[in-house]
């Protein structure tokens, strides 16, 4: 039977495809853009027939029909590897739960610990002549999802781009139980407009990046803005080895800055695990052999990224305590996002010859309840805060007031460096707290 014949024999309606789901099943929607739309709606329509359905996903880019159809959570529960704004709101309502992970381990979690799931429902590109579907902007751990799924249902959307490999970026028709054709708009995630503080932070970082640096940009507006400034800099021959492909990389490429010529691995190619941004980013990604889609077990492996000299990692955080512990995923016990690859890249970038890891935040914020100005450099992390990067792996912390280099420093040196990038009017209070904790060295 030809691939086209196999495809036709497996082509069904969304309603027929989701009929394989039974009460108690675990369903997986993959990563970001691989979340199906037609299948999600068809599954939501079965709410009154089913019980105890768990849906696993990573980074929701649109609303889940199953959750919206079941506001009290009697049938559907969402479990997520990394929160978007939508996931965070559902978590606050008790509708979404977090899967703790270091991102590079996600494929391993499926293959080694989860081992089996009932149904994988994934939105993919059109099939090529050889029977393959592309996982487009959502490689990450999707191949691992397919490997452990008892049943695989693909939702084909012709609007999705084809991502070149890399590795583990495709699923073959021979593996698939059902195929559904369903057109849905592709979610665009344009970067937030930079603030004046973002511009000040970028002004500290850009001059520290050398020619030939290999760049990783984390999720959020600030890393993307810093990347876009590299496109306007005098730098040459930049490289890309990242988990997340964002608009800034296209701007660097268009400006002639992104050549990947100096990379130690995947030379002349930009390596990434997923993409989220504007439509022009997705258009650039489509069938582009200079871009290589990989699973996070590759892009986020410190020993892989460290093969690139001058690896530069740029990420954002919520707050940092005077010991150098970085919290990037929660505000106290309230979960905000996820560990993602921040620890992966903080580790691998520092391992690289000439590499550095920048973690950035505004120096202060205004408390919504009291209106008081509060520092994001704090004596100790609030109770319940999650440590994303331990003090043992923290390198360069950046605010609008400067850069604090923590690597290899004693506790008093760390406290002093961090207080020096805190808001000037709040530094005396931080010094007093450091003295109480016995991590402040008096000058005689």
Distance, CA of 428 to CA of 425 (rounded, Å): 7
The helix (H) or strand (E) run that includes residue 228 is helix 221-231
Residues contacting 379, CB < 8 A, separation 6+: 321, 322, 430, 433, 434, 436, 437
> Taking the CB of residue 345, how many other CB atoms lie within 10 A of it?
32
169 catalytically annotated: no
Distance, CA of 41 to CA of 68 (rounded, Å): 10
Catalytic residue, from 168, 169, 243, 319: name it: 243
Cα–Cα separations (whole angstroms), residue 370 to 365, 374, 379: 12, 10, 20
Task: Identify the CA nearest to 265 among candidates 320, 309, 319.
Answer: 309
Task: Please list the residues that pair with 178 across neighbouring strands.
Answer: 153
Cα–Cα separations (whole angstroms), residue 393 to 236, 323, 358: 29, 12, 11
Q: How far is CA 226 from the centre of its chain?
A: 17
Find out whether 19 and 42 touch, Cβ atoms under 8 Å. Answer: no
Find out whether 355 and 116 touch, Cβ atoms under 8 Å. Answer: no
Residues contacting 102, CB < 8 A, separation 6+: 300, 339, 341, 343, 344
β-pairing, 311-316 with 214-217? parallel
Distance, CA of 39 to CA of 41 (rounded, Å): 5
The 8 Å CB, 24+ separation contacts for 364-371 are: 364/422, 364/423, 364/426
Distance, CA of 83 to CA of 53 (rounded, Å): 20
Helix, coil or strand: residue 43 = helix
Alpha helices in 306-341, H assignment, sequence order: none
Handedness of CA 343, 348, 353, 354 (dihedral sign): negative
β-pairing, 117-124 with 149-156? parallel
Task: Identify the CA nearest to 69 among candidates 40, 34, 30.
Answer: 40
Find out whether 217 and 224 touch, Cβ atoms under 8 Å. Answer: yes
Residues that are catalytic: 243
């Amino acid at each position: 039977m030809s691939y086209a014949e196999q495809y036709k024999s497996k082509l069904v309606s969304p309603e027929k495809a989701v009929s394989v789901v039974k009460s108690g099943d675990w369903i997986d929607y993959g990563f970001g853009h691989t979340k199906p739309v037609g299948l999600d709606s068809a599954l939501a329509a079965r709410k009154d027939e089913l019980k105890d359905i768990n849906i696993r996903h990573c980074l929701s880019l649109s609303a889940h029909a199953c959750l919206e159809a079941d506001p009290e959570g009697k049938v559907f529960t969402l479990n997520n590897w990394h929160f978007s704004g939508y996931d965070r709101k559902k978590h606050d309502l008790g509708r979404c739960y977090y899967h703790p992970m270091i991102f590079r381990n996600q494929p391993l979690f499926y293959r080694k610990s989860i081992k089996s799931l009932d149904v994988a429902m994934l939105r993919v590109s059109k099939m090529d002549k050889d029977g393959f579907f592309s996982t487009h902007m959502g490689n990450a751990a999707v191949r691992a999802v397919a490997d452990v799924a008892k049943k695989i249902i693909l939702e084909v959307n012709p609007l999705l781009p084809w991502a070149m490999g890399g590795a583990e970026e495709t699923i073959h028709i021979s593996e698939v139980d059902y195929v559904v054709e369903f057109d849905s708009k592709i979610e665009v995630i344009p970067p937030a407009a930079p603030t004046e503080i973002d511009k000040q932070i970028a002004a500290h970082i850009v001059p520290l990046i050398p020619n030939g640096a290999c760049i990783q940009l984390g999720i959020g507006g600030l890393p993307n803005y810093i990347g876009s400034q590299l496109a306007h800099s005098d730098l040459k021959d930049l490289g890309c080895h990242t988990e997340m492909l964002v608009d800034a990389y296209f701007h660097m490429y268009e400006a002639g800055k992104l050549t990947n010529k100096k990379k130690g691995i995947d030379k002349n190619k930009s390596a990434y695990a997923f993409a989220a941004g504007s439509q022009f980013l997705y258009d650039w990604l489509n069938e582009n052999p200079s871009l290589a889609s990989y699973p996070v077990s590759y892009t986020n492996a410190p020993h892989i990224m460290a093969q690139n000299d001058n690896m530069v990692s740029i990420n954002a955080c919520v707050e940092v305590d005077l010991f150098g512990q970085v919290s990037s995923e929660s505000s106290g016990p309230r979960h905000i996002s996820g560990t993602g690859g921040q620890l992966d890249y903080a580790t691998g970038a520092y391992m690289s010859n000439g590499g550095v890891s920048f973690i950035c935040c505004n120096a202060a914020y205004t408390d919504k309840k009291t209106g008081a100005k509060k520092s994001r450099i704090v004596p100790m992390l609030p109770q319940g805060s999650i440590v994303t990067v331990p003090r043992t792996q923290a390198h360069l912390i950046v605010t609008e007031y400067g850069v604090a280099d923590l690597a290899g420093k004693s506790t008093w040196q760390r406290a002093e460096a961090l207080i020096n990038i805190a808001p000037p009017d709040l530094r005396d209070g931080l010094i007093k707290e450091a003295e109480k904790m016995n991590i402040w060295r008096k000058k005689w």
